[in-house]
Copies of this chain bind each other. A is one copy, B any other.
Amino acid sequence: MRTIAIGLLGAGNVGGGVLRILEENRDAIERRLAARLKVHAVAVRDVGRQRHVDVPIDLITDDASAVVADEEVRVVVELIGGIEPARTLVLDALRRGKHVVTANKALLATHGRELFAEAAKHRVNLHFEGAVAGGIPILRTLREGLASDRIVGVRAIVNGTSNYILDSMTRAGLDYDAALSQAQRAGYAEADPALDVGGQDAAQKLALMALLAFGLRVDPIQIPTEGITRVRPFDIAAARELGYVVKSLAVARQTDDGLVLGVHPAFVPQDSILAGVHGAFNAVLVESQALGPSLYFGRGAGMMPTGMAVVSDLVEVCRAVLSPTEGPPPQAFAVIHDAAPLSVDDETCENYLCMHVPNLPGILGRVATCLGRHQVSIKTLKQDPQGVGEPVDMIIRTESVRERNLQAALAEIDSLPDVLAPTHRFRICPPDPLD
């Protein structure tokens, strides 16, 4: 049986998962591949550090460049994360004609052009299933399973940290800070959770999905992105009363004019499948022309799920090593175009608005007049009874309105002297198309 030597860069959480899966599923993998995957070297930053998984001491090195340069290594698995030195190491591996597997969404979302060009030039594979939605094979699905379809939209829960926090707020009634602490204790949030709860992580994943779904390269910085830090227990309770659950969504929609992208918390209907995505699970709902809606659901993070995605990429790459192609390895798209996301100004949806105002006669009139002036129609309005002059949360559900109009109305309302705090606004999603 042939043996293929793997160079592993990084032995943290996901790296530990990769090592465990290669060990525990050795037989299953060999039965599939008729070849042995052998970890030839493991590069780490600190050789002496305690790890999740035992790494044979003779494989460990702190010289990542040497692992990449090692003649025996056929496939490099990059799990260092971040931009440098990951970028330099991956480029070096590709230039040496080595296949690369990575789960580094930040690297691919920001330096994808350079890396994919290098891979194509040297006729090697660059796979990254682990970069989006952990173990759910969503990139493969967009690349292969739906390769003949025209994908028109994606609505996804791809940040496990945000979903875990919102889920704790929804089901255990915690406030944001308590939910974040719990997520950190449970290992679902980093000590610095900014990129997760701020939505940037989801925006990078959305950019990678757009690449494989539409063949469009988008800079994640350009994706309108809103985090979950301003979600309050009050909003979650209000959502529940209206029949909704608050979820952080990454959304892509292809229109005749271009691509609409966004990351934001939204109200999803209580009986929709996305509402049933709990804890750190992820789910991706794809809408395509011929197939219609389809959904992919599973663990979106963690050492074993993400490790599994990485090792499955490794199996695919090793199939290419065992049975090399004459030409360059196939790409998801022959041609990738650069694209800037469309402005969301012309998007329309229903909205939940929560305004913090004193309970005084005339306020409602002023707010309603302002909304009306901007063509924002009110579907329902509710405020809890309070003493006169007491601050009150006024909840308005709008009809489907144009974003441009809503923003203009909110800017005006928030500058009214009576309004005590910026209006809380959440988009309301239509029902799942899976019924």
Q: Contact string, A140-161, partner B, CB cutoff 8 A, digits 1/0? A: 1100111111100000000000
A8 to chain B, nearest CB (A): 14
Number of interface residues of A (CB under 8 A): 71
User: In the bound complex, do residue A149 and residue B298 qualify as a contact, i.e. CB atoms below 8 Å apart?
Assistant: no
User: In the bound complex, do residue B312 and residue A323 qualify as a contact, i.e. CB atoms below 8 Å apart?
Assistant: no
Asked if A233 is an interface residue, CB under 8 A from chain B, the answer is: no
User: In the bound complex, do residue A129 and residue B149 qualify as a contact, i.e. CB atoms below 8 Å apart?
Assistant: no
In the complex this chain forms, how many copies of it are found? Answer: 2
Other-chain residue from B140, B273, B330 in contact with A297 (beta carbon distance below 8 A): B273
Q: Contact string, A28-45, partner B, CB cutoff 8 A, digits 1/0? A: 111111100000000000
A139 to chain B, nearest CB (A): 9
Asked if A305 is an interface residue, CB under 8 A from chain B, the answer is: yes
Q: Which residues of chain B have C-beta atoms less than 8 A from A288's C-beta?
A: 308
User: In the bound complex, do residue A28 and residue B141 qualify as a contact, i.e. CB atoms below 8 Å apart?
Assistant: no
Most buried by B among A150, A295, A298: A298
Other-chain residue from B144, B145, B312 in contact with A148 (beta carbon distance below 8 A): B312
Q: Which residues of chain B have C-beta atoms less than 8 A from A28's C-beta?
A: 148-150
User: In the bound complex, do residue A32 and residue B150 qualify as a contact, i.e. CB atoms below 8 Å apart?
Assistant: no
A26 to chain B, nearest CB (A): 10
User: In the bound complex, do residue A136 and residue B325 qualify as a contact, i.e. CB atoms below 8 Å apart?
Assistant: no
Other-chain residue from B136, B148, B290, B299 in contact with A314 (beta carbon distance below 8 A): B148
Asked if A361 is an interface residue, CB under 8 A from chain B, the answer is: no
A29 to B215, CA, bound (A): 11
Asked if A265 is an interface residue, CB under 8 A from chain B, the answer is: no
Asked if A191 is an interface residue, CB under 8 A from chain B, the answer is: no
A-B pairs with beta carbons under 8 Å apart, 18 shown: A21-B148, A24-B150, A25-B150, A137-B141, A137-B144, A137-B146, A141-B141, A144-B144, A147-B312, A147-B315, A148-B312, A148-B314, A148-B315, A273-B297, A292-B304, A295-B297, A296-B297, A322-B327
- Across the A-B interface, give the 4 residue pairs with the lowest CB-CB distance, nearest first: A137-B145, A34-B334, A294-B298, A148-B311
